[in-house]
Structure 1
């Protein structure tokens, strides 16, 4: 099975030469994703709104790969402000539901100043094309 690349239209993908997601067999690797509206370049107000937007982008990439948030097995969370960890965790818990993937959360600066959260996921489809 050939490796497949998924793009989301982010200017960052073009700038840095990467894919939003790479599908390799039943595995899907989604790049670090900001809570940015790629059409306008704007960031929603607040860390929770940015987390929701990032998850929407991730969910769309997973859908293109024939998967969904229920297929996520690992989440990496990057937040510049440790005070935002609980707010991001609440969004993840609600959106991922009972899936309960492995999670690593790091408090560190992000490459884009307006970004308050960046999410990266790995998923595994049980059945694949």
Structure 2
């Protein structure tokens, strides 16, 4: 299998030494993704707006891999403040409601106090309809 690295262009990936996503076979692992808008390197002040940006960032990485948020099979949410989580529910449902992946929520500190949520995702690239299922 060929391993392919995907970058969002975030300076953090180069400075720290990681990829936004890694593709191997039909699996895509997307790194923990915060609410930074990488084009402007800005972050919204509230958790729901950051969750929206997280999903835009994750969707962009998945598109480079050949899949969408509908192909997500596993997701991990990290939220420093429990009080922020309920405001994110509608955002999560809007972006993952069709996929309904297995999910875990952890309350933990993030890299900076401005970061209110981080989302990590795993997806499977869909097979073309003519390709037989692995068995």
Are 2:76 and 2:103, in contact at CA under 8 Å, matched by a contact in 1? yes
Q: Which runs of 5+ in 2 are unaligned?
A: 129-135
Name the residue aligned to 2:51.
Answer: 51
Paired position in structure 2 for 1:126: 126
Partner of residue 89, structure 1? 89
Q: Deviations over 1:32-51 (max 9, x none)?
A: 00000112221013111100
Q: Give the Cα–Cα distance (whole angstroms) in 2 for the partners of residues 107 and 97 of structure 1.
A: 22
Q: How does 1:20-99 map to 2 (within 5 A)?
A: 20-99=20-99
TM-score by length of 1: 0.94
Stretch of structure 1 that moved more, 87-96 or 66-75: 87-96
Q: Distance in 2 between matches of 1:32 and 1:71?
A: 17
Displacement of 1:95 in angstroms is: 1.1
SS in structure 2 of the partner of residue 83 of structure 1: helix
Instruction: Encode CA deviations 1:22-81: one digit per residue, 9 max, x unaligned.
Output: 001000000000000112221013111100001000000000000000000001000110
CA distance in 1, matches of 2:48, 2:101: 19
2:67 and 2:126 in contact (8 A); partners too: no
- The answer for the alignment partner of 2:17 in structure 1 is 17
Match of 2:131 in 1: none
Query: Distance in 1 between the 2:75 and 2:84 partners?
Result: 16
Counterpart CA distance in 2 for 1:99 and 1:71 is 6
**What number of residue pairs does the alignment pair up?**
128
Runs of at least 5 residues in structure 1 that lack an aligned partner in the other structure: none
Q: Does 1:100 align with 2:100?
A: yes
Deviation of 1:85 after TM superposition, in Å, equals 1.2
Runs of 4+ in 1 over 4 A off after TM superposition: none
